[in-house]
Chain A
Amino acid sequence: MAIVKTERHPEMPPPVTQTGVIGWLRQNLFSNWLSSVLTIVAIYIAWQAMSSLISYSFINANFVGATKEDCTGTGACWVFIKARFGQNMYGFYPEDERWRVNIGYVLGAVGLFLVLSDTMKSKKLPAIFLFVIYPVICFVLFSGSFGLEVVETSEWGGLFLTLVLASVSIFVALPLGIVLALGRRSEMPVVRMICVGFIELVRGVPLISVLFMASVMLPLFMPEGVHFDKLVRALVGMSLFSAAYMAEVVRGGLQAIPKGQMEAANSLGLGYWQSMGLIILPQALKISIPAIVNTFIGLFKDTTLVSIVGLLDLLSVVKAGTTDKNWLGLATEAYVFVAAMFWVFCFGMSRYSIWLENKLHTGHKR
Chain B
Amino acid sequence: MKKASFIAVATAATLMAGAATAGTLDDVKAKGFIQCGVTTGLAGFAAPNDKGVWEGFDVDFCRAMSAAIFGDPDKVKYTPTTAKERFTALQSGEIDVLARNTTWTLSRDVNLGFEFIGVNYYDGQGFMVKKSLGVKSATELDGARVCIQSGTTTELNLADYFATKGMKYDSVLFDTSDEVREAYVKDTCDVYTTDQSGLYAQRSVLADPENHVVLPEIISKEPLGPLVRHGDNQWGDIARWTLNALINAEELGITQANVAEMKSSKNPAVARLLGVSGDLGAQLGINASWAADAIGAVGNYGETFEKHLGMGTQLKIERGLNAPWNKGGILYAPPAR
Interface: A227 (CB within 8 A) = yes
Q: How far is the CA of A310 from the CA of B93 in the complex (A)?
A: 16
Q: Are B50's CB and A324's CB within 8 A?
A: yes
Whether A225 lies near B49 (C-beta < 8 A) is: no
Complex Cα spacing A221 to B102, Å: 24
Binary per-residue interface labels of chain A (309-347) against chain B in the complex, 1 for a CB within 8 Å, 0 otherwise: 110100011011111111011010000000000000000
Docked CA distance A326–B48 (Å): 10
- Name which residue of chain B comes closest to A316, CB basis: B40
Q: If A87-B48, A310-B79, A325-B308 touch, does A216 touch B84 (CB 8 Å cutoff)?
A: yes
Q: Which residues of B contact A322 (CB under 8 A)?
A: 41
A325-B44 in contact given A84-B50, A225-B93 (Cβ < 8 Å): yes
Residues of B within 8 A of A323 (CB): 41-43, 47
Binary interface profile of B, 296-337, with partner A (CB < 8 Å = 1, else 0)? Answer: 000000000000100001110000000000000000000000
B85 and A92: CB pair below 8 A?
no
For chain B, the count of residues having a C-beta within 8 Å of the partner chain is: 34
Q: How far is the CB of A277 from chain B (nearest CB, A)?
A: 43
A316 to B42, CA, bound (A): 12
| Closest Cβ–Cβ distance, residue A338 to chain B (whole Å) | 14
> Which residues of the partner chain B approach A328 to less than 8 Å between Cβ atoms?
43, 201, 204-205, 314
Interface residues of B in 131-148 (CB under 8 A from A): none
Which residue of chain B is the closest to A318 with respect to CB atoms?
A: B41
- Pairwise interchain contact B204-A329, C-beta atoms closer than 8 A: yes
| B80-108 contacts to A (CB < 8 Å) | 80-82, 84-85, 88-89, 91-94
Q: In the complex, are the beta carbons of A325 and B43 less than 8 A apart?
A: yes
Please report which residues of chain B, range 191-217, place their CB below 8 angstroms from some CB of chain A when the two chains form the complex: 201, 204-206
Whether B49 pairs with A326 at a CB distance below 8 angstroms is yes
Which residues 12-71 of B have a CB within 8 angstroms of A? Answer: 40-44, 47-50, 52, 55-56
**A219 to B95 Cα, complex, angstroms:** 12
User: How far, in whole Å, are A310 and B88 apart by their CA atoms in the complex?
Assistant: 12
Query: Are A325 and B315 in touch, CB under 8 angstroms?
Result: yes
Please indicate the chain B residues that have their CB under 8 angstroms from the CB of A309 in the complex: 82, 85
A304 within 8 A of B: no
How many Å lie between the Cα of A84 and that of B43 in the bound state?
16
Q: With A222-B92, A310-B80, A310-B81 in contact, do A325 and B313 touch (Cβ < 8 Å)?
A: yes
A150 contacts the other chain (Cβ, under 8 Å)? no
**B80: shortest Cβ distance to chain A, in Å?**
5
Chain A's closest residue to B38 (CB) is A310
Please tell me if the beta carbons of B84 and A212 are within 8 angstroms of each other in the complex: yes
Taking a contact as CB atoms under 8 Å apart, the answer to whether A320 and B48 are in contact is: yes
Give A331 to B88 CA distance when docked, in angstroms: 29
Judging by beta carbons under 8 Å apart, are B44 and A310 in contact? no
At the interface, yes or no: B221 with Cβ under 8 Å from chain A? no
Interchain nearest-CB distance for A95 vs B (Å): 8
Tell me, yes or no, whether A215 is within 8 Å of chain B by CB: yes
Q: When the two chains form their complex, are residues A321 and B85 in contact, meaning their CB atoms are under 8 A apart?
A: no
A307 within 8 A of B: yes
Main secondary structure of the interface of A (DSSP, over half): helix
Question: Which of chain A's residues 200-218 have a Cβ closer than 8 Å to chain B?
Answer: 212, 215-217
User: Across the interface, which residues of B come within 8 angstroms of A225, CB to CB?
Assistant: 93
When C-beta atoms are compared, the residue in chain B nearest to A92 turns out to be: B52
Residues of chain A with a CB closer than 8 A to B77's CB: 154
Decide: B93 and A227 in contact? CB cutoff 8 A.
yes
Which residues of A lie under 8 Å from residue B50 when comparing CB positions?
83-84, 87, 324, 326
> Taking CB as reference atom, which chain A residue is nearest B22?
A224
How far is it, in angstroms, between the C-alpha of A189 and the C-alpha of B48 when the chains are bound? 54
| Separation of A220 and B314 alpha carbons in the complex (Å) | 40
A308 at the interface (CB under 8 A from B): yes
- Expressed in whole angstroms, the minimum distance between the Cβ of A196 and any Cβ of chain B is 31
Among candidates A86, A216, A307, residue contacting B40 with C-beta atoms closer than 8 Å: A307
Which of A212, A216, A310 has the largest number of chain B CB atoms within 10 A? A310
Q: Are A216 and B85 in contact (CB under 8 A)?
A: yes
**Is B187 at the interface (CB under 8 A from chain A)?**
no
Asked if B178 is at the interface of the complex by the 8 Å CB criterion, the answer is yes
Give me the interface of B with A, judged by CB distance under 8 Å. Answer: 40-44, 47-50, 52, 55-56, 77, 79-82, 84-85, 88-89, 91-94, 178, 201, 204-206, 308, 313-315
| Interchain residue pairs A-B with the least CB separation, the first 9 | A320-B41, A329-B205, A219-B92, A323-B41, A323-B47, A324-B47, A323-B43, A216-B88, A92-B52
**Sample of 12 more A-B contacts, CB < 8 Å, known A92-B52, A309-B82, A320-B48:** A84-B50, A87-B48, A215-B85, A219-B91, A310-B82, A317-B48, A321-B47, A321-B48, A324-B41, A324-B43, A324-B48, A325-B47
User: Could you name 25 residue pairs across A and B whose Cβ atoms are closer than 8 Å?
Assistant: A83-B50, A84-B50, A215-B85, A220-B91, A220-B92, A224-B93, A225-B93, A308-B82, A310-B40, A310-B80, A310-B85, A312-B40, A312-B80, A316-B41, A317-B48, A320-B40, A321-B41, A323-B42, A324-B43, A325-B55, A325-B313, A325-B314, A326-B49, A328-B43, A331-B178
